[in-house]
Amino acid sequence: MQPEPLRPVPPPPLTDADREAAVELLQRACGEGRLTLEEFGVRAGAAWAADTSEELAEVTAGLAAAPPVGTSQPVTVISAVFGEHKQYGRWRVSRHTRVRALFGSTKLDLREATMDAEVVRDGVVDIEVRTFCGEVKITVPEGVEVEVYGRSLFGSRTTNLAAVPRRQGTPTIRLHCNVTFGEMKVRSAPLSRHGGLLGNGKLGRILRELVD
């Protein structure tokens, strides 16, 4: 009588502690400039949705690569005086940022920004906006919490955020504004197309579902 072949032992199921450890690794990578705020939100969501260790490994793949240029120096002051300032692409968001627009225009896009280590630690970004006869426009990734405080005097303040669930692990963006004879607009925008961030695995499928 032939002995029964040995059956492979299934891997132990994932626990919330495993997923939390992966998210903490993603947070450190984001604080080092290896992930943008947008990429972090996608990967963190995929980490919580992972069912196997292989899927969780895919979420944290590629983090050993050196951070790209434009990620080391946090931006703390942005101003436009009788001119225009545009901040987009790969740039580093500091824990506290001051934005000034005096007879000028400022546009900030946080979708491809990276987070300072203090942002990762505190889970919040404070942006102080002051505009006089100027315009400030701020774009954040969908799923990021935004809180707006302050006042407008002979000016306008508009917030237009998509009604989507919050992405776990992303920081809260707190805007403290003083708008005088000017305008401030805050909007969220969908994820950009990263051209297959992590190939055809589960994370790649999640990303394509989000942007299609």
Model confidence pLDDT, tens digit, residues 98-120: 999 999 999 999 988 888 888 88
pTM confidence score: 0.73
Residue 140: φ, ψ to 5°: -120, 160
Domain-wise residue ranges, the chain: 16-67+195-211, 74-189
The full DSSP string for 58-95 is HHTTTTTSPPPTT-SSEEEEEEEESSEEEE-SS-EEEE
Residue 125: φ, ψ to 5°: -120, 125
**Residue 169 buriedness (CB in 10 A; 0-12 / 13-18 / 19+):** buried
pLDDT band at 57 (very low <50, low <70, confident <90, very high): confident
Element (H, E) at 46: helix 37-49
Residues 6+ apart with CB under 8 A from 160: 185, 186, 187, 188
Token pair 């942005």 is found at 78
At 208 the pLDDT is: 46
Report the candidate in 47, 8, 11, 54 with the shortest Cα–Cα distance to residue 27.
47
117-142 tens-digit pLDDT? 888 888 899 999 999 999 999 999 88
